[in-house]
Amino acid sequence: MGKCYPEKMYATGAVGQTHFGASENGDMIEEGFIDDYMMPNLTAYNETCANLCNAMFSFRMLGIHGQAKYADIIELVMHNSGLSGISVEGKDYFYANPLRMLHNTRDYNAHADVTETPDREGYLACFCCPPNLVRTISNLSGWAYSLADNGVHVNLYGSNNLTTTMLDGSAIKLTQDTEYPWKGLVKLTVESCKSDAFDIALRVPEWATGATITINGEDAGVKATPATYAVLHRNWKAGDVIVIDIPMEATFIEGHQRIEEVRNQVAIKRGPVVYCIETPDLPDDVSVLDVYVKGDSELAVDYQPDFLGGTAIITADTYLRSREQGAMYTAVKKPDWQETRTKFVPYYAWSNRGTAEMTVFVPVVWK
């Protein structure tokens, strides 16, 4: 098992920490990678194309090495920093995908060929990301399975039908039924296959603890270890049913202690989906910067079929802090907290309800 999160990758699978940097020759460049663990939220570039490239590169590495950690990155990008590049309606786009957005804090027109926008736009001056994203979504079914020496690897979960030819020339048909990522129950039915024994290998996501696998209702006898493929070897026949049941717990995540930009902050993740808060869900006079989350809060999950294209929202106990816009540094007074509960929405679905400010990481309070 290897590390799933390289030291320059965001919790959303995004890459490309800065808009500006310098080459080894000292020449000015746009779209830069900087030091490990240096992960700005507000000023991150995270171009949609760069995030998709992270998934594309991972698919090729998966083809070479067959390691689940690469499929984990594909899943992470496609549920978060790739998908955030397009609106729920499919008409408006982001070029940059920072993890925090505050308006009127940066001059978006300060440089030529501006690529960062505070709202999704129907047309981007540098129009690479929109077609790149829609073609990648269209091709994603081609990444769902891989062929191995004597079997099929299931890389990605989502309802589909597989009809393909294995490497020995034999035909196989599988059906996958699931409501993933909102539910972690995945049912695979063998529709037809060869009579000789072969492998069906299921990816166990790196975040999945307590997953179980059954075949025709009985324990498959294979441990579902996170960030590996669980290999099921047998003589399969039409009608065989494999079920992998992955608990979808909403959890707080924190960054490595060396990431200064998220120290004492947490984000919410459920399965592969990273959440954020945005201003349409806050009282009018509250900034996303003034929301603190209670560290031991219950995280309530509610699937809402008519909200943002059908999505699970999460609510958590929060404290709102009223604070005057201060000087650069001021003496600290004990905050006058307002206790409430705040809605978190999937990061990919932010900026679909008009102009909004947003943050993925939120300061945490333990009382």
The closest alpha carbon to 274, from 292, 256, 255, 251, belongs to: 251
Gap between the Cα atoms of 8 and 31, Å rounded: 13
CB of 71 to Zn ion, least distance (A): 23
Q: What part of residues 304-363 is at the interface with Zn ion (CB under 5 A)?
A: none
Size of the site for Zn ion (CB under 5 A): 3
Gap between the Cα atoms of 293 and 339, Å rounded: 10
CB of 132 to Zn ion, least distance (A): 6
CB of 124 to Zn ion, least distance (A): 8
Bridge partners for 29 per DSSP: 21
In the block, tokens 């940097």 appear at: 21
Q: What part of residues 87-116 is at the interface with Zn ion (CB under 5 A)?
A: none
Residue nearest to Zn ion (CB): 49
CB of 81 to Zn ion, least distance (A): 12
Q: Which is nearer to Zn ion, 115 or 311 (CB)?
A: 115
Cis bond before residue 226 (omega within 30° of 0): no
Gap between the Cα atoms of 118 and 123, Å rounded: 14
CB of 27 to Zn ion, least distance (A): 21
Q: Which amino acid is at 231?
A: V
Q: What part of residues 117-146 is at the interface with Zn ion (CB under 5 A)?
A: 128-129
CB of 128 to Zn ion, least distance (A): 3
Residue 306, CB half-sphere, CA atoms under 13 Å: how many?
0
Q: What part of residues 31-90 is at the interface with Zn ion (CB under 5 A)?
A: 49
Q: Which is nearer to Zn ion, 117 or 175 (CB)?
A: 117
Q: Which is nearer to Zn ion, 128 or 134 (CB)?
A: 128
Q: Which is nearer to Zn ion, 9 or 286 (CB)?
A: 9
Q: Which is nearer to Zn ion, 15 or 316 (CB)?
A: 15
Q: Which is nearer to Zn ion, 348 or 361 (CB)?
A: 348
Residues that bind Zn ion (CB under 5 A): 49, 128-129
